[in-house]
Amino acid sequence: MTAERMHAASAESTAIVDAVLDYSRRRMLSDFVPLDKPQTPEELIRLTGGRTITDQGLGATRALATFEHVLAPACLSTSHPLYLSFIPTAPTMAAIAFDLVVSASGLYGGSWLEGAGAVHAENEVLAFLAREFGLPDSAGGVFVQGGTIGNLSALVAAREAAKARLVAAGKELPTRWKIVCSTEAHSSNKSAAKVMDADVLLVPAGEDGRLHADGVRAALAEHGDEVCAVVATGGSTNFGIVDDISGIAALKDEFDFWLHIDGAYGLTAMLAPEARPIFAGVERADSMIVDPHKWLFAPFDCCALLYRDPDNGRRAHTQHAEYLDTLTDADDFNPSDYSIQLTRRPRGLPLWFSLATYGVTAYREAVSATLALTQRIAEEIARRPELTLVRDPQLSVVVFERNGWDRADYDRWSDRLLDTQHAFVVPSSHAGRPNTRFAILNPLTTFDDLVGILDTMK
């Protein structure tokens, strides 16, 4: 029967597994992985021959060939050393390989009952990150899909904690909750507020691009108990800027508020000793996120959400239903209790395997090397008369202008770089002026690579 054929171990299944593993092996170990580029819908229809989903199926050989030769080349290789836009990814060989193991093992990571071993390994990674960020040993959390889900889950927990605090004090709840963040904060925080039906109080960043304590203090003084959370950014996406976390955290001595750190991109920099002073005050946060699929060299998609007091997350997110009684009546640590996701794969396992394989020192050295390369290329940009460094980099994002260029010039240049498979560097802007940027995360990116891109702007 067809149903049994799809699931049973057989000669056909063996051939499928061998073909997929062979492709994966070739892709992972290739000395040359192209950047590739998108195609139009019409071109993809032409190249695939119309429909790939048919009643009888294409067969594994043809389906894999369609992916390898048509679909995959229409997807950018985000782990390529010359993918320098947005925030790249650069998973280690060990992490990529183990991602196959996670999928092959049929693991569920939502409860201790169903995935105790996987949850134990994930929790070891979360405990390591909590120590790095200065949280107490009692801190904990969960790996979720990405920064948007992480921020939303943390802010929902913040709102529930604020509700409990006001009820305990005999105070009325506000008609609308408010979340304080910088005008430079990631858009996911505004998205989370929209989902929560809360208001965002945008505090202007300083000339240095950072959110400072004085603006936050004014918002807290004006809105008081209506504020359920203050969000500080630990490395903005556009510039890699870290807010004045120390100053904002010190406000906890004056006001009772939940401090959340959105460190999706930049918090990883704390693994490098030279960057730790930038993040002073993080240890006072009530929650924080960091995305391992960015600078911690894990595959998509993976965000680590940490709570100072995990019970706050559990009280906000535990789902109750008769079929879940077996889980909720026990005292086990169930990851699904700490975010809005019930069903989850153990997405922290590839990071666990990579850390267990290579050791933390290798990670520290890789992050430090990235920071050093960023400073070196920034100095190169500053010395070139045709270029202007918009701001000295704080982490690993370098933003610069080509003097005399308008947006159309940047667009043509960027398109040419990708069309020739030289690099993926897209235009950006700041204060109404067009620019471009290098987001440097991949340890395989070299100074000569970056200089070669700058040379195309002469």
pLDDT tens-digit readout, 385-394: 999 999 999 9
Flag whether pLDDT at 324 surpasses 70: no
Residue with tokens 């170990």: 29
B/e letters for 178-202, b = 16+ CB within 10 Å, e = fewer, are bbbbbebbbebbbebbeebebbbbb
Within 157-246, strands assigned E span 178-182, 199-203, 227-233
CA–CA gap between residue 41 and residue 304 (Å, rounded)? 35
Kindly indicate the confidence band of residue 456, based on its pLDDT and cuts at 50, 70 and 90: very high
The residues pairing with 230 across neighbouring beta strands, listed in sequence order, are: 180, 259
Mean pLDDT computed over 339-351: 95
Which pLDDT tens digit goes with each residue over 163-219? 999 999 999 999 999 999 999 999 999 999 999 999 999 999 999 999 999 999 999
pLDDT digits (tens, 9 = 90+) for 38-79: 999 999 999 999 899 999 999 999 999 999 999 999 999 999
The number of beta carbons lying within 10 Å of the beta carbon of residue 300 is 16
pTM of the model: 0.95
- At residue 277, the pLDDT reads 98
**Domains 100-357 and 360-455 belong to one CATH topology:** no
Domain parsing of the chain, residue ranges: 2-75, 100-357, 360-455
Measure the CA–CA gap between 257 and 378, rounded to whole angstroms. 38
| Per-residue confidence (pLDDT) for residue 206, from 0 to 100 | 95
Mean pLDDT of 335-353: 95
**What tens digit of pLDDT does each residue of 86-122 get?**
999 999 999 999 999 999 999 999 999 999 999 999 9
Confidence band, pLDDT 50/70/90 cuts, at residue 1: low
What is the residue-averaged pLDDT of the chain? 96
Q: Is residue 322 over pLDDT 80? A: no
d(CA 231, CA 56): 52
Rg (CA), the chain: 24
Average pLDDT over residues 271-277: 98
Give the pLDDT score at 4: 87
CATH number for 360-455 (one of 3.90.1150.10, 3.40.50.1580, 3.40.50.300, 2.60.120.10): it is: 3.90.1150.10
Length of the chain, please? 458
So what's the pLDDT on residue 329? 67
- The architecture of the domain spanning 100-357 is 3-Layer(aba) Sandwich (3.40)
Q: Where are the alpha helices (DSSP H) in 309-348?
A: 310-317, 325-328
Half-sphere exposure of 7 (CA within 13 A, CB side): 4
User: Contact 350/98 with Cβ under 8 angstroms?
Assistant: yes
